[in-house]
Amino acid sequence: MEQVHPSRLQNFPISWFAMVMGLSGFTIAWHRAETSLELPWGISPVLLVVTIGIFALLGLCYLAKALRYWPQVRGEFGHPIKLNFFPTISIGLILVSIALLPYNASVSLMVWALGTVLHLAFTLYVLSAWVHHTHFEINHMNPAWFIPIVGNILVPIAGVHHASPEISWFFFSIGLVFWLVLLTIIFYRMFFHNPLPGKLLPTLFILIAPPAVGFISWVQLTGALDSFARILYYTAAFLTLMLLTQVQRFLKLEFFLSWWAYSFPMAAITIATLLMYAQLQLPFFRGLAMVLLGLLSLLIAVLLYRTGMAVARREICIEEG
């Protein structure tokens, strides 16, 4: 086996873990589709094994980086943008626990508990860093800032099966309130300050995730498709439509790992649409879910191909200019 050059390990970015979020969401979407749409293909168990394998591989690589190049890890932890990608590790655990739930509730509980506790720790640390910062500026703000705080809104999806509903309500409340706060700041930044740099433009898709995931969590918590659930779903649907109408802008971008920011939000709106179909049994939502699942599958295939090509060409894990 070829030995990894130290400089590549030294520059192994924390943003790799956004890949786990995308693949986990893809796995969950396919499982829900196989159930709700009665699809004959049972590929979701295979996707789950692949996702866990990639998560473990990335975890080992980053652990090796932490042991050998701790100053670089500490530097990422203090970076105004990269800091927000550390909670992708805990969100990855929460998503894997959701994917595991239909197969092994006990293992799902252990993974969910670890991810939830770790994410709460990240939330408290990041929020404290934001409040007491000395170097953050409005131009550092981008939708990736949703990840540490708003990510709490994911907890109830598996949480209602594993613990008291009050725990799930606690995390849902944090995610919902801070989504509204950060959404306001993000639109202020985009409307009245410099546009996002090309490398961060894919993070605009993260705007879709909070209302889509919030919709799923709300239905899990209340057991009903009520007015507020519809507001969350249709907000996510509008944001998806808005971003898809600008696809030409995104296709012109140079490939970066930030392209994986497309994946989880698209998985979230796909899963939310499958849930709408399960609740309403309207043919429109069935058709829309199938279209979104097809787009998501194509997107994941493209992302895997482009990532593999970038790794082969040594365009990833290099020192930033």
Q: Do 22 and 264 form a contact (C-beta atoms < 8 A)?
A: yes
Q: Do 191 and 159 form a contact (C-beta atoms < 8 A)?
A: no
| Mean pLDDT of all residues belonging to the chain | 91
C-alpha closest to that of 206 among 161, 269, 255 = 269
CA dist 7 → 11, 31, 95, 149, 314 (Å): 6, 39, 31, 32, 11
Who has greater pLDDT, 230 or 198? 230
Task: Tell me what percent of the residues of the chain surpass a pLDDT of 70.
Answer: 96
> For position 4, what pLDDT does the model report?
44
Tell me the pLDDT band of 113, cut-offs 50, 70 and 90. very high
CA dist 165 → 159, 169, 170 (Å): 7, 6, 9
The dihedral of CA 147, 153, 156, 159: what is its sign? Answer: positive
Cα R_g (the chain), whole angstroms: 19
pLDDT tens for residues 47-83?
999 999 999 999 999 999 999 999 988 888 888 788 8
Burial (Cβ within 10 Å: 0-12, 13-18, ≥19) of residue 135 = exposed
> For position 1, what pLDDT does the model report?
35
C-alpha closest to that of 267 among 300, 244, 243 = 300
Tell me the pLDDT band of 229, cut-offs 50, 70 and 90. very high
pLDDT tens for residues 11-29?
888 989 999 999 999 999 9
Segments in 133-246 forming alpha helices (H): 146-150, 155-162, 165-192, 209-222, 227-244
> For position 312, what pLDDT does the model report?
86
Domains and CATH numbers, the chain: 6-312 (1.50.10.150)
Among 98-107, 131-140, 243-252, 312-321, the range scoring the smallest mean pLDDT is 312-321
Tell me the pLDDT band of 320, cut-offs 50, 70 and 90. low
